[in-house]
A = this chain, B = another copy of it.
Amino acid sequence: MTDTKGDRSKRPNKQTDPDAFLHIVDENDDGIIVRGAKIHQTGFLNSHRAIIMPTLSLRPGEEEYAVSFGVDTNEKGITLIYGRQSCDTRKMEKGKLDIGNYKYGGQEIFVIFEDVFIPNDRIFMKREIKFSGELVNRFAGFHRQSYGGCKVGVGDVLIGATSLISEYNGVEKASHIQDKLVEMVHLNETLYSCGIACSSLGFQREAGNYEMDMLLANVCKQNVTRFPYEIGRLAEDIAGGIICTLPSEADFNSEVVGSLLKKYLSTCNEVSVEDRYKVLRFIENLTMGVASVSYRTESMHGAGSPQAQRIMIRRQANLESKKKLIKEILDIN
């Protein structure tokens, strides 16, 4: 969905480079030719096909930008460029503990369309600018709804890791530790509540599909742009400074200094030093490493940056009906 956007103060058709937003550059009887780029693509690399759509509501004169279609991810003319993530090259190091989370992960892709041909039967929207705003808002609504599940699951694991490290450090019974864990859970479950609420108040469209509650989906995402940061901050608080001064796995296993490190990283008797090492790396991974990309920055910008939700909240807020309430109470008019 996301175009590169060029100069944000200008509309798509006023950009110096017309390709700053993906658009139709040519057409024949069999289909269209498109050019442009879609960035921040999370699942593109591990998908066979993708659906492309505009990134904003379009106006008369911007018809060539109103285009949506399906495409094979290895279609001729498509170039995928791997994005960098914090700590990405740890995945290529010899060991596995410094990766933080050696089982799971993801990767964003910069996707460039150089005159890609899209046959007619794969085109969903072609120059219908009047539907573009609704398409963007609805898709964004579904995407914002989903964050009330996605980031909450990650939050659960981070809370688990933080709880575990407090146990490993011997502080799990301190009242301020317990209180911070409660706060982490409280914030995470508030996000979950928002996800559940916009789903529960969903409704069926005439076409048969179900749609979330648009206002609450935006409220959900808006909270997602805030709470994971605070949850992460509390995790860093409880885990301790060691998450960012911990020596490397190579040192940990070194014949020269390994035993010294193991000695000094020991905490409670029943705790395995390696397990503690793993959990510390995992918390680093989620707060500063590879996974912070998806837990923090993607929480901020995925499915639209915070201001996009605020615009939608304002539109959906129905302030006029709220003014009516107060007028009725106070016999105004």
Contacts and interface: CB of A to CB of B under 8 A. Distances in A.
Interface of A: 2, 4-10, 16-17, 19-20, 37, 39-40, 79, 81-87, 89-90, 93, 98, 101, 103-104, 108, 110, 112, 114, 156-157, 159-161, 163-164, 167, 169-171, 173-176, 178-179, 181-182, 185-186, 189-190, 192-198, 200-201, 215-216, 219-220, 222-223, 225-226, 229-230, 233, 236-237, 240-248, 251, 257, 260-261, 263-269, 272, 275, 278-279, 282, 284, 287-289, 292-293, 296-298, 300-302, 305-307, 310, 313-314, 317, 319, 321-327, 329-330, 332
A80 to B, nearest CB: 10
A84 B98 contact: yes
Given A190-B223, A237-B225, A242 B159 contact: no
Most B CB contacts (10 A, CB to CB) among A108, A196, A237 go to A196
Contacts of A261: 81, 110
Contacts of A192: 197, 216
Closest 4 CB pairs of A and B: A160-B322, A193-B197, A241-B301, A83-B245
A292 B302 contact: no
Main secondary structure of the interface of A (DSSP, over half): helix
A44 to B, nearest CB: 11
Nearest to A223: B190
Contacts of A84: 98, 245-248
A326 B81 contact: no
B319 A160 contact: yes
B244 A16 contact: no
A317 B86 contact: no
A89 to B, nearest CB: 6
Given A85-B245, A287-B297, 18 more contacts: A2-B241, A7-B169, A7-B267, A16-B269, A83-B246, A86-B284, A175-B179, A179-B179, A182-B313, A190-B190, A192-B216, A193-B193, A196-B197, A226-B233, A241-B297, A243-B297, A272-B332, A288-B289
Nearest to A269: B16
Contacts of A279: 326, 330, 332
A332 to B, nearest CB: 5
A181 B275 CA distance: 37
Contacts of A161: 326
Contacts of A79: 257, 260
Contacts of A201: 196
Contacts of A301: 236-237, 240-241
